[in-house]
Amino acid sequence: MTEIRTGNQPVTQITIVDSEPDKQTEALSVMTERARFMARQPGFISISLHRSLDGRRIVNYVQWQNRDLLRSAHQSPEFRKEWGHFDQLTDEIDPNLYEVAQVIDSGQ
Protein backbone atom coordinates (compact mmCIF):
# COMPACT_ATOMS: atom_id res chain seq x y z
CA MET A 1 0.00 0.00 0.00
CA THR A 2 1.33 3.42 -0.90
CA GLU A 3 2.32 5.45 2.14
CA ILE A 4 2.39 9.22 1.75
CA ARG A 5 3.23 10.79 5.08
CA THR A 6 5.80 13.03 6.72
CA GLY A 7 8.24 11.94 9.42
CA ASN A 8 9.77 8.46 9.49
CA GLN A 9 8.99 7.43 5.94
CA PRO A 10 10.14 5.11 3.19
CA VAL A 11 12.36 6.39 0.39
CA THR A 12 10.36 7.76 -2.55
CA GLN A 13 11.69 7.90 -6.09
CA ILE A 14 9.76 9.84 -8.69
CA THR A 15 10.92 9.34 -12.26
CA ILE A 16 9.62 11.44 -15.14
CA VAL A 17 10.02 9.80 -18.53
CA ASP A 18 9.57 11.82 -21.73
CA SER A 19 8.64 10.06 -24.96
CA GLU A 20 6.91 10.73 -28.23
CA PRO A 21 3.14 10.19 -28.11
CA ASP A 22 3.35 7.24 -30.53
CA LYS A 23 5.83 5.50 -28.19
CA GLN A 24 4.14 6.16 -24.84
CA THR A 25 2.08 2.96 -24.81
CA GLU A 26 5.08 0.74 -25.53
CA ALA A 27 7.26 2.60 -23.00
CA LEU A 28 4.52 2.15 -20.40
CA SER A 29 4.36 -1.56 -21.21
CA VAL A 30 8.12 -1.95 -20.58
CA MET A 31 7.80 0.04 -17.35
CA THR A 32 4.89 -2.16 -16.24
CA GLU A 33 6.97 -5.31 -16.76
CA ARG A 34 9.80 -3.76 -14.76
CA ALA A 35 7.33 -2.80 -12.03
CA ARG A 36 6.20 -6.42 -11.76
CA PHE A 37 9.83 -7.46 -11.32
CA MET A 38 10.42 -4.74 -8.71
CA ALA A 39 7.34 -5.84 -6.75
CA ARG A 40 9.12 -9.13 -6.00
CA GLN A 41 12.32 -7.49 -4.68
CA PRO A 42 13.30 -7.03 -1.01
CA GLY A 43 12.19 -3.70 0.43
CA PHE A 44 9.44 -3.05 -2.13
CA ILE A 45 6.42 -1.08 -0.91
CA SER A 46 4.64 0.20 -4.04
CA ILE A 47 4.90 1.50 -7.58
CA SER A 48 2.36 3.73 -9.32
CA LEU A 49 2.64 4.52 -13.03
CA HIS A 50 0.89 7.58 -14.44
CA ARG A 51 0.66 8.61 -18.09
CA SER A 52 0.05 12.15 -19.27
CA LEU A 53 -3.01 12.82 -21.35
CA ASP A 54 -0.92 14.48 -24.06
CA GLY A 55 1.03 11.23 -24.53
CA ARG A 56 4.43 12.79 -23.81
CA ARG A 57 5.22 11.72 -20.23
CA ILE A 58 5.09 8.82 -17.84
CA VAL A 59 5.55 9.40 -14.12
CA ASN A 60 6.78 6.50 -12.02
CA TYR A 61 6.16 6.89 -8.26
CA VAL A 62 8.14 4.26 -6.32
CA GLN A 63 8.32 3.65 -2.58
CA TRP A 64 10.95 1.43 -1.01
CA GLN A 65 11.95 0.62 2.55
CA ASN A 66 15.39 2.17 2.09
CA ARG A 67 17.86 3.50 -0.51
CA ASP A 68 20.20 0.50 -0.43
CA LEU A 69 17.47 -2.00 -1.26
CA LEU A 70 16.12 0.27 -4.02
CA ARG A 71 19.61 0.65 -5.50
CA SER A 72 20.14 -3.11 -5.39
CA ALA A 73 16.88 -3.75 -7.26
CA HIS A 74 17.81 -1.18 -9.93
CA GLN A 75 21.21 -2.82 -10.46
CA SER A 76 19.73 -6.27 -11.05
CA PRO A 77 20.53 -7.71 -14.51
CA GLU A 78 16.88 -8.72 -14.91
CA PHE A 79 15.77 -5.10 -14.36
CA ARG A 80 18.35 -3.80 -16.86
CA LYS A 81 17.87 -6.43 -19.60
CA GLU A 82 15.48 -4.28 -21.68
CA TRP A 83 17.38 -1.03 -21.01
CA GLY A 84 18.57 -0.53 -24.61
CA HIS A 85 15.08 -1.05 -25.99
CA PHE A 86 13.63 1.28 -23.36
CA ASP A 87 16.12 4.00 -24.33
CA GLN A 88 14.80 3.80 -27.90
CA LEU A 89 11.28 4.52 -26.62
CA THR A 90 12.21 7.52 -24.49
CA ASP A 91 13.69 10.96 -25.01
CA GLU A 92 14.67 11.65 -21.40
CA ILE A 93 14.55 9.80 -18.07
CA ASP A 94 14.76 11.93 -14.91
CA PRO A 95 14.79 9.93 -11.63
CA ASN A 96 15.07 11.71 -8.27
CA LEU A 97 14.67 10.75 -4.61
CA TYR A 98 12.20 12.75 -2.50
CA GLU A 99 10.88 13.08 1.02
CA VAL A 100 7.34 14.09 1.84
CA ALA A 101 7.25 17.67 3.15
CA GLN A 102 3.49 18.10 3.67
CA VAL A 103 0.37 15.96 3.40
CA ILE A 104 -3.05 17.63 3.27
CA ASP A 105 -6.13 15.54 2.71
CA SER A 106 -9.88 16.04 2.83
CA GLY A 107 -9.93 15.32 6.58
CA GLN A 108 -7.75 18.34 7.42
Specify if 87 maps to a domain: yes
d(CA 38, CA 4): 19
What pLDDT sits at residue 9? Answer: 76
Tell me whether residue 107 is in a domain.
no
How far apart CA 44 and CA 74 sit, in angstroms, is 12
Q: What residue numbers bound the domain in which 27 lies? A: 11-98
3-state class of 92 per DSSP? strand
CATH number of the domain bearing residue 84: 3.30.70.100
The pLDDT value recorded for residue 46 is 94
Q: How many domains does the chain have?
A: 1
Residue 3 lies in a domain: no
pTM (2 decimals)?
A: 0.84
Chain segment 14-43, per-residue pLDDT in tens: 999 999 999 999 999 999 998 999 999 999
In a domain, 80, yes or no: yes
Instruction: Report yes or no on 39 lying in a domain.
Output: yes
Q: Which residue has the higher pLDDT, 86 or 8?
A: 86
Residue 91 resides in a domain = yes
